Amino acid sequence: MIHYYILSAVLEIAGCYYWSRGNYLISSLALIGFAWTLSLQPYEPARAYVIYGGIYIVCSTVFAALTGVTLELRDWIGIGLMLLGVVVLI
């Protein structure tokens, strides 16, 4: 089931990215796909969003690295704390 979460995160990031670039059609399709894939989760909604949140953090970090964003120490500390929170809540 983890593939649904990864696909959801990629579609949400793509939707936001294309919206910021002015490509509203692709953005809308990606965000519709995001909402649909997130609805396929087998867990109760609260747990599904916690799991998705952790995967979204990881995907966002990878996207930042691929686009040349340099993360500072405080960014890495924040990412670590958020992922620790995800582990505790699961």
User: What is the per-residue pLDDT for 48?
Assistant: 77
- Pick from 52, 42, 18: nearest CA to 32: 18
pLDDT higher at 29 or 5: 29
Which residue type does 25 have? L
User: Chain-wide mean pLDDT for the chain?
Assistant: 88
Read off the pLDDT of residues 29-73 as tens digits, 9 standing for 90 and up: 999 999 888 788 777 777 777 888 888 888 889 989 898 999 999
Q: Does residue 47 or residue 22 have the better pLDDT?
A: 22
Structure tokens belonging to residue 68: 């040349």
